[in-house]
Chains A and B, each alone.
Chain A
């Protein structure tokens, strides 16, 4: 083994490795099987530990931290129930490619497999939902596993990794503190060289009359925003982003056509139908965006991705570049010719004018779209926004224009209710100087509501914007449109008094119900840097438009103005 010094315990070594890796904050919850490690953490001056109220909170906080800072997110849980509480968040991180290191306690090695107290085969359980995982059997192996885990979490297409850390291994002494060699082949973590022909790739774009750039979450992971902007401007190509790609291209840029997909803008979805060339930059032709092989039916399709397994997975493409997005765009840029494309740009402007995002704001009730727009204006678009899952998530995606990467935190792939509040907390820890807003619904909020205590305990300034429709709104919307208004189990017949609840945690709170209160509400909510909750009562009937019904394609888009036709 390469470097040996005096022997220390596995637990001590884990703390030192985390420190050396630059980890400054970890989110976790202790328990018997992880106590030796926690005892060592007690002495660390470099690592701040955030005590959560539920391990699901810990992993989502790590996700929010990672997504908003671009750094590794770390969460810790004990064995058995602590570890299994991480499952949802790890799956979430896998689907959205978020780099997370989960460290779980495990029963002592001689008890593994005996159904010991608080034993769960978390290694086996997390095989399908992690990018890499390992059970550390000897303290001597820790350094290697640690290095592999971190490299894999951050490298290539990022993702969650898990190290299962038995109690006796935490206590065992080792002097091996550096991996002498890694068992995992470098291509799993090194940044691959761009493969493909950048010139040929660029030529296809040059030939296009109606090009469209389609930007996904990979753009955020590879910090490629500046390159995407340069490419779009040079080629004079409009840009649409996926839900995960929001912020990778400025939402206020003249070339932006906003989000595409199920609840994307009508003009983005129409642009997809009309373009003659579509360039996928770090997206994955997700089924909420691209329903069928005939996605962008008139277009030559090109795809840049760091994950070779994404090519031709759902939609066949004509041109491929395999590699990191930032590097790839840098390679194709010199071959890209400037384009006028006047009629295409005009065409896009007309689409925007004729098919705007729309809602009816005539009555006395508060419309979430309106409220979100005002929050956007008031924060000058500079806040970090996390969401839960449902209608509020889509309204936030539509009405808060994201100009910067790493400012939009949402559960895109898994659609995890309960993500929003902890993700906002994680983001606030990573960005103490920024305004962090959690947009949530009365359903989602109650899934990780216990993390209000984590806010209170750390005196954290997280803003909570709670849209209350006394319904599982998105479920209601589907039931109204596709299940003949049979609202099976989507209405809350009981909701707590959210204002009192927040106040019970020492968080100032206010409830508004009428349009006349909007200004007061926005001001209250954003007045200082402290935490606050605003409960906004909204009509249960309010729907998210446009909408492409599940299983349908861009052709079948329903706009707000079509609503009358739809109801017949």
Chain B
């Protein structure tokens, strides 16, 4: 099962290695990792998606909390949090399928950043499933380059609002 861990860490060099090293060392695979500084410049927020049962995730959580630079670890339940990922894709188009491509982009709420004679550069954000979905629809056109941010997440304040 996929789990999304939201981790607050001290923002200084080496912390990323400490955290990712912990996963390597215990043989756990990270599906995605996204890091950014918070409103407090001394603190960064990391979102890590990993696959594992509750026992494994419990272990990871316990081990993470032992790292001095880790301030907080939260296991984000899907239903009570917002999860988003951003993807940038550049793909090939031809005269013949250009309008089909544009229709798809419109339908999926995709942002077009650049259009040349034979290519489109688009931006899309959504939950991981939506992102994967958009990519699979675009794929037949011929993807030239792709860049995904990895998932970020934040819990809803009001846990009853869902």
Contacts and interface: CB of A to CB of B under 8 A. Distances in A.
A341 B42 CA distance: 58
Contact of A309 (B25, B55, B63, B69): B63
Interface string B21-45: 1100100000000000000001000
B144 interface: no
A131 B55 CA distance: 23
Contacts of A185: 68, 71
A134 B13 CA distance: 9
- Count class of interface residues, chain A: 20 to 34
Nearest to B11: A183
A127 B18 contact: yes
B68 A184 contact: yes
A309 B14 contact: no
Contacts of B68: 131-132, 148, 152, 184-185, 188
A486 interface: no
Contacts of A148: 68
A134 B22 CA distance: 17
Tell me the dominant secondary structure on chain B's binding face: helix
Interface residues of B, number: 20
B65 A308 contact: yes
A184 B66 CA distance: 11
Contacts of A128: 21-22, 25
A135 B65 contact: no
Given A128-B25, A309-B62, A184 B18 contact: no
Contacts of B66: 188, 307, 309
A313 interface: yes
Contacts of B18: 127
A313 to B, nearest CB: 7
25 contacts: A123-B14, A124-B14, A124-B17, A127-B14, A127-B17, A127-B18, A127-B21, A128-B21, A128-B22, A134-B14, A135-B13, A135-B14, A183-B42, A184-B10, A184-B69, A185-B68, A185-B71, A188-B66, A308-B65, A309-B62, A309-B63, A311-B62, A312-B58, A313-B59, A313-B62
Given A308-B62, A313-B62, 15 more contacts: A124-B14, A127-B21, A132-B68, A133-B14, A134-B14, A152-B68, A183-B12, A184-B10, A184-B69, A188-B66, A308-B65, A309-B59, A309-B65, A311-B62, A312-B58
Which 9 interchain pairs have the tightest Cβ spacing? A309-B62, A184-B68, A188-B68, A132-B68, A127-B21, A128-B25, A309-B63, A128-B21, A127-B17
Interface of A: 123-124, 127-128, 131-135, 148, 152, 183-185, 188, 307-309, 311-313
